[in-house]
Amino acid sequence: MIDDMPAALPAILEIPGNQAVYASLKQLLETGSAIAFLGAGTSVPLYPLWPELIANLAHEPVLRGLATEADEQYWLRPGAKPLQTASQIRAKLGDAFYHTFLYETFHRLHCLEPELPGQPLGERRHL
C-alpha cells in the first residue's frame, strides 16, 4: 500500500494514529461515502464555483414557476451575499426542490443526458 504513495505520505503515516485515520478515509472515499474537498477551485470544472452555483440556483425556481425573472435578477444583483441569497432561494423552492437541485448539481458526473436549457434539474435522468 505504501509503495504507490507520494514520497511524503509514508512519513506522515508514521505519526501515531495517522495510519488508522488514513485507512478509514481511504475506505470512505473508495465506497463513495465521502467526498474529498481539497480547496477552492480544485474541483473545477466538475462542480460550479459560487457565482455559477448561485446563478443556476436562482434560475431553478423560475423554471419551476415558483419565482419571477425579477426575483432572479434580485438574487443575482451585485453585492448580494451568496449564503443569504441561497437561503432566500431555498425558501422559494422549498426543501424538496432545493435538496433535489443540490443533489443533481453535485451528482452530475453520473448524468446520462447533457443538461438541457430550460429543463428543471429534477427532470434529468441519472444512473
Split into its structural domains, the chain has a count of 2
Q: How far is 103 from 44, CA to CA, in rounded Å?
A: 17
60 and 118 inside one domain: yes
Give the 3-state secondary structure of residue 111.
Answer: strand
Q: How far is 98 from 60, CA to CA, in rounded Å?
A: 9
- The tens digit of pLDDT for each residue in 32-73 reads 888 776 766 666 777 788 899 999 999 999 999 999 999 999
Q: Is residue 41 part of a domain?
A: no
The pLDDT confidence band at residue 112, using thresholds 50, 70 and 90, is: very low
pTM for this structure? 0.56
**62 in Cβ contact with 72 (< 8 Å):** yes
Q: How far is 100 from 2, CA to CA, in rounded Å?
A: 39
Mean pLDDT of the chain: 81
69 and 99 inside one domain: yes
Domain that holds residue 10: 1-36
Q: What is the pLDDT of residue 124?
A: 47
Distance of CA 73 to the CA centre of its chain: 23
